[in-house]
Structure 1
Amino acid sequence: MAELRINTKWMAAASGEPEVTATAALLDMYVDNISLTRNQDIWAETVRDNVFVSAYPLAMWFASSWWRLNHEPLPTQQPGHDWRMVHELGAANHGFVWPRVIFIPDGEAIHVWAGTSMMPDQSVQYLQALEVPRMITLSGFQQSVERFMHSVLARLDAKELAGSNLAHLWTLVQEDLADPDAVRRRKLEAELGFDPEECPEQALDAALQWESQIGDAALSELAPAIAASGATPDLALIGQLAGAGGIVGTPDISPDSIAHLEHGAPWERAIHDARALRHLMGNVGGPVPDCSLHDLLGISSEAATNWSAPVGRSPVAVAIPLNDHQLKFVPRRRNLAGRRFELARFLGEYLRSSTREARWLASTDLSTSRQKYQRAFAAEFLCPIDSLTSFLGGDFSSYAIEEAAAEFDVSEQTVTSLLLNNGYIHHHWTDGLPYRMAA
């Protein structure tokens, strides 16, 4: 995991609002040894790792964005203006030119993306892009921001500006952090896409009631996925899923059947677990028949094949605990290959947690750590990368990928993703950013 550092060298400023001029600084921001603020100052004709700005608007942005910055994942579609204002550093604004940096949480870590900013009409040109996003632990990110916040507040105190809006806002954040019930509500508001106290009270109460029934981990997956789909924030869709028909099964394996990897990125843990399960099955690299997958989940192959998804496209699929260790699977994929992959995702999610936890399992299109684990587990379990590359024999053409997808009974997208994630083919990011931004 990487480390975020934000440093300030306080400077004098000629004019402006008191809080802004008092916190004028040469500011640098690093992820490990990479400067995200490396820039070319057009007027001064210099290249340096720090930039002359005020730390106050940046601190205000961190404080006002705190809950969503830490808990609101990237939506599956192009994010809207509201989401971007609380995740893109440039929203600190106040007339300063900021680097193109995006902070995206996944439930375990903050992913930092950075792209160059070379606008010809700007006095500052940011030069550094990250080829791949860097991951910072959630606690590490919070500690880095808190250190920066304390330095700005100390500077304001020294300048006899202790009663600033920033001090008031940060006090509110600290009060909420000290109250477990407030943390619960703020986190859920953020997952639903709302700033503190802006979620309709009735909707928030309804969502909190679901938490006691489905578990907080499942709610943290379902709430943002349902909210991002445009459904009502009261999560009425959860009630529809609870009452829907499904494929009932009693898994024929327990989480304790394999030795889990307890460290590393979600996909690293997932690959380890998928390989451990294959070793247990005695099938290290061959295709996994449908009947083997269904047996592990304790479901009928006939029921799985004949399952008909509800009318309309659901943004989520769930597995709901019944009695006697039974689960009711409610898939959403209509094609057989997609449903097979979805069931493999549920298998991975089931294996990664204790059977004593009577909670829902949730599968979505979001990029949270749990969903990354599920997708990586299902891909490696159904189509092991070593077996895949052996089958392809160095041929990564579309025809070869199509043949491999048929061999392992997965989608061509799964094969392509495996090759991308393992470096056999290359992904062209949008200038170091996860989605297209205006120049």
Structure 2
Amino acid sequence: MTEPLRFQAEWEAVDGSRGDEIRATWARFSLSVNGHPVTRVLDSRSGCFRDHVLVPLYPVTEWIVRNWWSLLHEPEVTADSSYASRHDLRFGREGYALPALNITPQGGQVLLQWRTEDYGSVSFPSSGAATVPAEAFVETLERWVEQVIGRLEARNIHNTLLQEEWAAIQRATDEERAFCIAAAQTGLNPYTATADQADTIVDVAHRLPEPWHEDFFSALTVDDLRAGADYVLSLRERLRAQPLDLGPLADLRDAVQGAAGAVGVSSPWDAGYQAAMALRRVAGIGNQPLRDDDLIAGALGMRNLPVVSAEKPPLNHWFDALAESTEPGQGGLVLAARSGKPRRFAFCRGLLELLIGGNTASTLVTAARTPRQKRNRAFAAELLAPADWLRQKDWGRVIEDESIEEAAEELGVYSEVVRRQLANHGIVDAATL
């Protein structure tokens, strides 16, 4: 059976390298994902392909350990220019040839993406992407770190930064692990956080319900955590002071939960799509557009949407909704101050959390790219711009912006939602959009 992720070393003796740990860890290094050799290179000097690189393994292993908590717990971030330094294997090369391999945790899966690159006298000619189970990813990295540390110890090399950092990770208590995860989600290295940053993370983690942590910490920088926590806790108090009737949702929950958790659902966004399709089937609305609040409420069997409005959140855009069931049949959504299209999209994202969470939902809908947020974005897109409705339109050979704008107007969504649906469902070639 092919291993999802494989690191392999054949140790080599190399003289003249600087540092004992560098000399001790020279090896023919190969890395493969689902049997694909990511370390395949074309050597310009010999003109030959090979599936390994000759490098010292101490630098890249120390990089893995230094960024351990980020590699396992920091979801994709698009606005942080330092994100790649914690997730792209290139940043562990220290002048030696390593492939450009980006590592992105996605809940129970880890996304691995590699791309072509020339580096010195070698070229990495392949590109690709695959997801591997998070458990297998962690096990592979743990074995790898232990193998490299074992090599150091066999050469009587001790007290390196790699060994000290790995020992700190191994002896971390449950409370320390929780802190390290939260710090990594904000983009910090937990071992280099300042005392003020550490105090902020610990304080906010204690104040917020544990189910909120990943989606909250992943959406904010450490400097914004306290203000963000004050805001969402005030929203929860407001909702609990005026709970709304969620009784009509009971008839929809089983179908939506079953679709989202069905065997064969391979990704968060697929779960979101399936859940939206199931809701439309159970509600008996087919592909009917839900272009306004009344149509959405009617599809849910409600007279009005179960929404409490709130003031605009402080800081930059990071929050869309708080979804909570306060007791059986009661609860609702608190939406940030918006209207029209963004308000409906935010409502639909939060609606999925009420349906999935049942009578115990307590969830934040944020700008984070966690699996939960990817799932509720896909749900909202499919509920408001169903793929089958889009498939029935005659898009022609050349898709014009006007056609997309017209479709978006009919559906009551932004044109970007239509573009993403067309591309993500393979309705049209993404290159034509």
Q: What amino acid does structure 1 have at the position aligned with 2:49?
A: V
* Pairing partner for 2:211 from 217, 221, 246: 217
Q: Distance in 1 between matches of 2:178 and 2:351?
A: 28
Q: Distance in 2 between matches of 1:392 and 1:267?
A: 26
* Structure 1 position 144 matched with structure 2 position 140: yes
Mapping of residues 233-248 of structure 1, within 5 Å:
233-244=224-235
**1:226 match: secondary structure:** coil
Q: What amino acid does structure 1 have at the position aligned with 2:407?
A: A
1:108 aligned partner: 108
| Equivalent pair of 1:76/1:366 in contact (CA under 8 Å) | no
Q: What amino acid does structure 2 have at the position aligned with 1:100?
A: A
Distance 1:338-1:167 versus aligned 2 partners, 3 A rule: same
CA distances 1:383-426 after superposition (whole Å, capped 9, x unpaired) = 22112111245563322211211222221111100111122344
2:21 aligned partner: 19
Q: What amino acid does structure 2 have at the position aligned with 1:155?
A: R
1:434 aligned partner: none
**1:283 match: secondary structure:** coil
Query: TM-score with structure 2 length normalisation?
Result: 0.86
| Equivalent pair of 1:2/1:136 in contact (CA under 8 Å) | no
**2:249 match: secondary structure:** coil
Distance 1:185-1:301 versus aligned 2 partners, 3 A rule: closer
* Structure 1 position 153 matched with structure 2 position 146: no
**1:291 match: secondary structure:** helix
* Pairing partner for 2:408 from 402, 405, 409: 405
Higher relative contact order (CA 8 A, sep 6+): 1
Distance 1:311-1:166 versus aligned 2 partners, 3 A rule: closer
CA distances 1:271-310 after superposition (whole Å, capped 9, x unpaired) = 2211111111011222135224235396835978x97746
User: Cα RMSD (Å) of the superposition?
Assistant: 2.8
Aligned-pair CA distance for 1:95: 2.3
1:365 aligned partner: 367
CA distances 1:13-56 after superposition (whole Å, capped 9, x unpaired) = 11222221211111111111222111122233322111111111
Aligned-pair CA distance for 1:189: 1.1
Aligned-pair CA distance for 1:346: 0.7
| Equivalent pair of 2:232/2:322 in contact (CA under 8 Å) | no
1:95 aligned partner: 95
Q: Distance in 2 between matches of 1:189 and 1:112?
A: 22
Mapping of residues 23-172 of structure 1, within 5 Å:
23-77=25-79, 79-81=80-82, 83-119=83-119, 122-130=120-128, 133-172=129-168
Gaps of 5+ in 2: none
Aligned-pair CA distance for 1:60: 0.8
Aligned-pair CA distance for 1:210: 2.5
| Equivalent pair of 2:325/2:359 in contact (CA under 8 Å) | no
Mapping of residues 338-377 of structure 1, within 5 Å:
338-357=342-361, 359=362, 361-377=363-379
Higher mean displacement: 253-262 or 189-198: 253-262
Q: Distance in 2 between matches of 1:272 and 1:320?
A: 20
Q: Distance in 1 between matches of 2:303 and 2:216?
A: 24
Query: TM-score with structure 1 length normalisation?
Result: 0.85
| Equivalent pair of 2:317/2:367 in contact (CA under 8 Å) | no
| Equivalent pair of 1:2/1:134 in contact (CA under 8 Å) | no
Q: Distance in 2 between matches of 1:299 and 1:105?
A: 41
Distance 1:217-1:297 versus aligned 2 partners, 3 A rule: farther
Q: What amino acid does structure 2 have at the position aligned with 1:381?
A: L
Work out the percentage of aligned pairs sharing the same amino acid: 24
Q: Distance in 2 between matches of 1:302 and 1:19?
A: 61
* Structure 1 position 250 matched with structure 2 position 245: yes
Distance 1:123-1:326 versus aligned 2 partners, 3 A rule: same
Distance 1:111-1:405 versus aligned 2 partners, 3 A rule: same
Higher mean displacement: 200-209 or 326-335: 326-335
Distance 1:290-1:318 versus aligned 2 partners, 3 A rule: closer
Aligned-pair CA distance for 1:341: 1.1
Q: Distance in 2 between matches of 1:135 and 1:41?
A: 28
1:321 aligned partner: 324
Distance 1:319-1:294 versus aligned 2 partners, 3 A rule: farther
1:435 aligned partner: none
2:174 aligned partner: 180
| Equivalent pair of 1:250/1:299 in contact (CA under 8 Å) | no
Q: Distance in 2 between matches of 1:341 and 1:270?
A: 13
Q: Distance in 2 between matches of 1:134 and 1:297?
A: 41
